[in-house]
Amino acid sequence: MKKLIKDLKDPQYKYDTEYAHLRIEFMENLCLQSKKPFYNKPMELLLWEKAFIETVYSFKVYDEDLKRWVRRFKNVLLLIARKNGKTTLMAADAHTDLRIGEGGTDIVCASNDDKQASLLWNEIDNMRKAIDPHSKITHRNMSEICNTKKNIKIFKMSSKTQNKDGRNIDKMYMDESHDAPNDEIAEAGQKSMSTKEEPLFINLTTEGFINDGYLDNELKHAREVLFDEQPDIHYLPWLYTQDSEEEVWQNEESWYKSNPRFRNSKEMEFFTRRDRNI
């Protein structure tokens, strides 16, 4: 946050919240949830979720080749503990693109496992059906979700997907990347977006157990960017982590660092009770 606040005063950037706030308004009014106890209810974004969406879409940098201001961040890493609603948040983000995004956009829901990629893809479809139950503007088949009026398509990709290269992607969500042993899927997506003027790769994940895998390398780069050890103005690290393993066991109040939703729900009480029972 300190780095981003400092960047607000940097003349190479422009901070324009108009489009971000339009997205937030759409998400809070027309992205209906599909799971109990929030079934068919619009999202109420938490402060951290609004801050994340606003940051991703509001920072602009001037592109000399295009002669216009473009979105600054092209690569985003959202690291957060489970059950903090990251998949629902990204489903709402993608559903917003499906409805009010630019025509001809291709979006990918990717993960190392096809089942995990389907979780995000299916939640996007649930939001789609909630406001277009008769598929008058949008449509889903076995391979893609699309806006038939604007030719916006959303499809899946996993380690089992054949012909990962050669696609024409504008935006990619890499879900639960801690399961990926290497960068095969991510690299395929990055290459497919290489000719786009404003590509966006969003890596959303939790901590994992694969040593020296794809996520470990990403976290190394993310922390180098955070501590100004490597310049990368187009990379946004957004990490919710504990400072040490010791504080997890010694200070329950510190758990909000990796679980920002705890301050707004009863989940903290559940985890505390379960921990004491153990």
Looking up residue 179, the CATH number of its domain turns out to be 3.40.50.300
* Cα dist from 278 to 7, 172, 173, 262, 274, whole Å: 45, 40, 36, 20, 6
pLDDT at 162: 60
> How high is the pLDDT of residue 210?
84
Answer whether residue 129 is part of any domain.
yes
CA atoms of 233 and 239, how far apart (whole Å): 17
Query: Is 154 inside any structural domain?
Result: yes
Q: Is residue 225 part of a domain?
A: yes
Rounded CA separation 263/141 (Å): 39
In a domain, 13, yes or no: no
The 10s digit of each residue's pLDDT in 3-39 is: 999 999 999 999 999 999 999 999 999 999 988 888 8
271 found inside a domain: no
Residue type, 74: K
Residues 145, 123: Cα–Cα separation, whole Å:
11
Domain holding 207, by residue range, is: 73-241
- Give the mean pLDDT of 121-127: 96
User: Given this model, what pLDDT does residue 97 score?
Assistant: 98
Q: Look at residue 270 in the predicted model and tell me its pLDDT.
A: 59
Helix or strand run (H / E) with residue 60: strand 59-63
| Mean pLDDT score across all residues of the chain | 91
Would you say residue 60 lies in a domain? no
Q: Is residue 237 part of a domain?
A: yes
Q: Which tens digits make up the pLDDT trace of 199-256? A: 999 999 998 888 888 999 999 999 999 999 999 999 999 999 988 888 888 888 888 8
Is 230 domain-assigned?
A: yes
Q: Total structural domains in the chain?
A: 1
